Amino acid sequence: MWLIDLAPFVPFFIAALLALITRGWIRNLILLATPVLGGIHLWVDVSPGIVTAVSIMDYELILMRADRLSLLFGYIFHIAAFIAAIFALHVRDTTQTVSSLLYAGSALGAVFAGDLITLFIFWELLAISSVFLVWAGRSERAIHSGMRYLVIQVSSGMLLLAGALVQYYQTGSLAFDYIGLEGISGWLIFLAFGIKCAFPLLHTWLIDAYPEATPTGTVFLSVFTTKVAVYALARGFPGTELLVYIGAVMTCFPIFYAVIENDLRRVLAYSLINQLGFMVCGIGIGTALALNGTVAHAFSHILYKALLFMSMGAVLYRAGTIKATDLGGLYKSMPKTASLCIVGACSISAFPLFSGFVSKSMVMAAMIEESYDYLWLVLLFASAGVFHHAGIKIPYFAFFAHDSGIRTREAPLNMLIAMSIAAVLCVLIGSQPQYLYALLPWEVEYWPYDTTHVLSQLQLLLFSALAFVWLNKQGIYPPEMRAVNIDAEWLYRKLMPDTAHSIYCFMKKTGNRAENAFDSTLKDAAKSMISTRFGRFNLAASWPTGSMAFWLAVILGIFLLADAIH
């Protein structure tokens, strides 16, 4: 037992400080050692039930509340931070290194937060630290995109704070436990979580910002923000039925966009929302099996999503582009990256023996158990769809398809190591799920491997692949195009600015017209005045300041005189 009450974010914040003043291998060592030591400490020393609080003035901030739910997220965040750190080991950019450490620390702070104020603090720190990973893209697009990202993320925090204060006013408690949708505070907090969890129409920041970040930054981004939101929803709103419907929409609408999207990292961003949909559904169902499914799916999702973002990051790093129109045939120069990407693709598609299979199926099974039969069909559709766009499209257009002629080198060693660790874990979780199941917060008997499940899943997936082949052979499959597809962000990136602009133009025009009309009337009046006999007198001309002062003095004098007489 060593420092059992050390809140898990502390080592990351100290490491960020150290990374600021160190360079070279020492900094790399800090970057790697922090998640390893922090993770070991969490695993060995911290057991469920430990609570750490600090008092600030009269208020008690609960910095660490360790239970099986927060601990599981703590473990996976450490693992993911370690993998992402290896992937980013070649980066010589202090901004990125420091902000990624702060970002990982903030995510840990948020999942271990025991009260809403602590949660709010880390919620905002998540936003502020992560935006630098977007800005580190350093293109003009990245700067603008990061700004939009920051505004939306910070507003989410504001809603959270407002909700927390209303809750405090009404109940006198700021505890972060079950919240539910009763009252205004519940809705405010729900909306705050919903923004970070990329609910439909609130999701635009994700597809806007993630593809603009650096190749390594996106890996960090894909891990933390949305999964903190999933954790927060699982803590605050389990069994809220509305979430089942929201989740179902989240699984479906992004897959259509993903099919026609050209930027492969944006395809992954859409599929991230699709995967979050399964977790949100699980939270909405709220049974022990469903919640275990959500948490397990978050765990495996973090790994395979990071793996996919890493493989696309490696492609972007080597080939210099991530547009499907420009890529193809890269398996010739990057065979290892291609194979690792395929492992990620199999995992996200939930092939038996890969991680997605053992976690997504819990949510699906819970759905059937609770008689959401039609929504189960929707999720099944989304499962086929995710294989189509993430499982096939990503590896196919990047590494196979037509040969783009790009000849480059294999990804750097550190990237290959990071991807390999993630890939091994994907297969390990998929083939030996008992280890993950043992860590799940609720006690439920579940085993994914039986004839029915394996056979039905294989049929679903391979016939989806068949559809892809058939559509391609028939020439029906939509070709990749250099284009953007408008999404809900169109509202604030196009409609609102354009409307504002046209209103401005209209006002300006009307103003000018009115001014002209007024001006000409005035000039006409002046002209006619001058043309009369009064025009000879000074009254019609502009007066010098001196005469104004003189007449003012006269008027004041008259006033004084009148006052005295009065």
Partner 1 sequence: MNEPESEIVEKQHLFDNPRNVSLVIGSLYSVCILLFLLDFILHRHATNEWDGFAGFYALFGFTACVTLVLIAKQMRRILKRKENYYDVAD
Query: What's the token pair of residue 169?
Result: 């006013």
List phi, psi (to 5°) of 155.
-65, -35
Q: Tokens 């931070």 — which residue? A: 81
Minimum separation from the CB atom of position 487 to partner 1 (A): 8
Task: Tell me: does residue 488 bind partner 1 (CB under 8 A).
Answer: no
508 in contact with partner 1 (CB under 8 A):
no
Interface pick for partner 1 out of 51, 481, 529, 552 (rule CB under 8 A): 481
- Cβ 65 vs Cβ 112: under 8 Å: yes
Question: By C-beta, is 27 or 388 nearer to partner 1?
Answer: 388
Residue 531 interacts with partner 1 (CB under 8 A)? no
**Contact residue for partner 1 among 20, 51, 486, 496 (CB under 8 A):** 486
Q: Is 60 helix (H, G, I), strand (E, B) or coil?
A: strand
475 binds partner 1 (CB under 8 A): no
- Per the DSSP assignment, residues forming a β-bridge with 335 are none
Is 163 in contact with 185 (CB distance < 8 Å)?
yes
Distance CA 549, CA 552 (A): 5
Our finding on whether 483 is near partner 1 (CB under 8 A) is yes
Instruction: Kindly tell me which residue out of 165, 181, 342, 465 binds partner 1, with binding defined by CB under 8 A.
Output: 465
In angstroms, the CA 53 to CA 62 distance is: 4
Structure tokens at 76: 């996976």
Per-residue binding string, partner 1, 415-454, x by CB under 8 A, is ------------------------------------xx--
CA distance 108 to 416: 26
240 binds partner 1 (CB under 8 A): no
Q: Is 539 in the site for partner 1 (CB under 8 A)?
A: no
Interaction of residue 507 with partner 1, rule CB under 8 A: no
Residue 204 vs 347, nearer CB to partner 1:
204
Give the separation between CA 218 and CA 228, rounded to whole angstroms.
16
| Residue 469 binds partner 1, judged by CB under 8 A | yes
Q: Is 143 in the site for partner 1 (CB under 8 A)?
A: no
Select from 33-41, 54-62, 164-172, 485-493 the region that touches partner 1 (CB under 8 A): 485-493
Which of these, 83, 53, 84, 49, lies nearest to 69 by C-alpha position? 49
CB of 197 to partner 1, least distance (A): 24
Q: State which of positions 276-335 bind partner 1 (CB under 8 A).
A: 331-332
State yes or no: residue 529 binds partner 1 (CB under 8 A): no
| Strand-pair partners of 54 | 61
Residue 69 to residue 445: CA distance in whole angstroms: 18
Q: Alpha-carbon Rg of the chain, whole angstroms?
A: 30
Number of residues that bind partner 1 (CB under 8 A): 52
Q: Does 376 bind partner 1 (CB under 8 A)?
A: yes
DSSP per residue over 344-371, as a string? HHHHHTT-TTSHHHHHHHHHHHHHHHTT
Stretch that binds partner 1, among 67-75, 190-198, 384-392, 506-514 (CB under 8 A): 384-392
DSSP single-letter state for residue 491 = I
Which spans of this chain sit near partner 1 (rule: CB under 8 A)? 141, 255-257, 259-260, 331-332, 365, 368, 373, 376-377, 380-381, 384-385, 388, 400, 451-452, 455-471, 476-478, 481-487, 493-494, 497, 501
